[in-house]
């Protein structure tokens, strides 16, 4: 029989955390996050850092409060201060996981700022990464979506670090077992009402056809490389574009856009709409608007649409992005995308 792989090396696993002096670890009490806490307690740099632990109680299960209290005991036994964060107020009836995630990060960011932490650390692992890539594949995501999660990203101005993305869930569970440390199992992970659970139940069938965790991780890594190249190309194209950029206005000659590949045109539009409007538009709507704009540029016909709180127009040989005008009372704004 093959030998068991060695236990995770805390110094190697937590290397992405080294640049931060104060960190807030998100620990729910599941095996993944308990493993993260165990690694942090054994990390060579731990004594040089301020590391605290937070548990979010979403108020969705009767046991959640008791579990959060237990995580607090575990955290203190490992030498860490603990914070229980509760999602207060009425809970939504739809998109519950998506909205719970938004609430979780909002609470974590607030507490991180309270304690002076510059980074939030989560226990997402390789199986989560593969699952995210599959989930987004079923939703028809673009390259950025298929790239799934990054080890280091940003959330509300803070660093969001996922140092365990390169490790399988089984390795994290084994770490807990070797330490003799208990953990909780979240029953929502078995609830078929959630799309991710239904996809998880297809794992064996997909693996038999070649779409196993390793294949999904390869897909995610390749998409991440492609996304990096596309983002760089879009930044280069934007920086060399002879455009007028004001605080609430973008204007560029149509001729400068005609030569751009469609993907770079979409990314340029998305960036300016996010800067001038009220946020980045959904990919499907951006693609429809981009296709219509490209056709208008090719045929030199007028074009106007509103998207993401901004108005995009093409006339007089120029494309202009400006803030969307307010709705007329009792009327609707122009929405062609």
| pLDDT, tens only, 81-128 | 999 999 998 888 888 888 999 999 999 999 999 999 999 999 999 999
d(CA 319, CA 293): 9
Per-residue pLDDT at 2:
42
Backbone angles phi, psi at 137, to 5 degrees: -60, -40
The string of pLDDT tens digits covering residues 52-70 is 999 999 988 889 999 999 9
Per-residue pLDDT at 337:
46
Burial profile 34-56: b = 16 or more Cβ within 10 angstroms, e = fewer: bbbbbbbbbbeebeebebbbbbb
> What band does 153 get if pLDDT is binned at 50, 70 and 90?
very high
d(CA 159, CA 145): 19
Per-residue pLDDT at 329:
61
pLDDT value at 163 more than 80: yes
Long-range contacts of 207-213 (CB under 8 A, 24+ apart): 211/134, 213/126, 213/127, 213/130, 213/168
> What band does 335 get if pLDDT is binned at 50, 70 and 90?
very low
Question: In the numeric block, which tokens belong to residue 32?
Answer: 């993944």
d(CA 111, CA 117): 8
Element of type H or E holding 23: strand 22-26
Mean of pLDDT values over 210-235: 96
Rg of the chain over CA atoms, in angstroms?
Answer: 23
Q: What residues does each domain of the chain span?
A: 10-218, 242-323
Mean of pLDDT values over 325-333: 65
Per-residue pLDDT at 297:
95
Given 3.30.465, 3.30.70, 1.10.3470, 1.10.20, which CATH number is that of 242-323?
3.30.465
The string of pLDDT tens digits covering residues 230-277 is 999 999 999 999 999 999 999 999 999 998 999 999 999 999 999 999
d(CA 297, CA 300): 5
d(CA 273, CA 34): 41
Element of type H or E holding 277: none
Per-residue pLDDT at 7:
67
pLDDT value at 334 more than 70: no
Per-residue pLDDT at 193:
76
Question: Do 55 and 82 touch, CB atoms closer than 8 A?
Answer: yes
d(CA 157, CA 160): 9
Question: Do 255 and 317 touch, CB atoms closer than 8 A?
Answer: yes
Per-residue pLDDT at 6:
54
The rounded percent of the chain whose pLDDT value lies above 90 is 81
The rounded percent of the chain whose pLDDT value lies above 70 is 95
Bridge partners (DSSP) listed for residue 57: 86
Mean of pLDDT values over 306-334: 84
Mean of pLDDT values over 319-330: 84
Taking Cα atoms as reference points, which of 178, 215, 204 lies closest to residue 4?
178
pLDDT value at 1 more than 50: no
Backbone angles phi, psi at 315, to 5 degrees: -165, 160
d(CA 85, CA 73): 15
The string of pLDDT tens digits covering residues 2-16 is 444 556 899 999 999
Angle, CA 115 vertex, CA 114 and CA 120 arms, to 5°: 95
Question: In the numeric block, which tokens belong to residue 111?
Answer: 């507490």
Per-residue pLDDT at 60:
85
Per-residue pLDDT at 336:
47
Question: Do 127 and 92 touch, CB atoms closer than 8 A?
Answer: no
CATH architecture of 10-218: 3-Layer(aba) Sandwich (3.40)
Residue whose tokens read 């960190």:
23
């Amino acid at each position: 029989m093959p030998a068991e792989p060695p236990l995770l090396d805390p110094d190697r696993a937590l290397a992405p955390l080294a640049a931060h002096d104060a960190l807030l670890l998100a620990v729910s009490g599941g095996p993944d996050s308990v493993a993260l806490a165990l690694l942090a307690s054994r990390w060579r740099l731990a004594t040089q850092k301020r590391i605290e632990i937070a548990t979010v109680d979403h108020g969705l299960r009767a046991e959640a409060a008791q579990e959060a209290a237990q995580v607090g005991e575990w955290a203190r036994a490992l030498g860490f201060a603990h914070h229980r964060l509760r999602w207060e107020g009425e809970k939504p009836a739809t998109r519950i996981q998506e909205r719970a995630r938004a609430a979780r990060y909002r609470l974590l960011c607030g507490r991180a700022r309270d304690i002076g932490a510059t980074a939030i650390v989560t226990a997402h692992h390789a199986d989560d990464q593969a699952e995210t890539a599959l989930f987004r594949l079923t939703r028809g995501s673009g390259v950025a979506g298929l790239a799934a999660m990054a080890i280091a990203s940003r959330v509300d101005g803070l660093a969001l670090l996922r140092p365990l993305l390169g490790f399988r869930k089984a390795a994290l569970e084994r770490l807990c077992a070797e330490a003799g440390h208990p953990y909780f199992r979240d029953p929502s992970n078995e609830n078929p009402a959630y799309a991710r659970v239904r996809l998880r139940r297809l794992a064996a069938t997909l693996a038999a056809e070649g779409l196993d965790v390793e294949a999904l991780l390869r897909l995610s890594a390749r998409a991440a490389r492609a996304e990096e190249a596309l983002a760089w190309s879009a930044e280069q194209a934007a920086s060399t574009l002879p455009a007028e950029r004001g605080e609430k206005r973008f204007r560029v000659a149509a001729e400068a856009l005609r030569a751009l590949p469609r993907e770079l045109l979409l990314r340029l539009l998305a960036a300016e709409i996010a800067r001038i409007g009220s946020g980045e538009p959904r990919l499907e709507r951006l693609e429809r608007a981009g296709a219509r704009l490209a056709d208008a540029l090719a045929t030199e016909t007028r074009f106007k649409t509103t998207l993401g709180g901004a108005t995009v127009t093409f006339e007089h040989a120029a494309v202009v992005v400006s803030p969307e005008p307010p709705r007329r009372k009792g009327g609707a704004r122009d929405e062609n995308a």
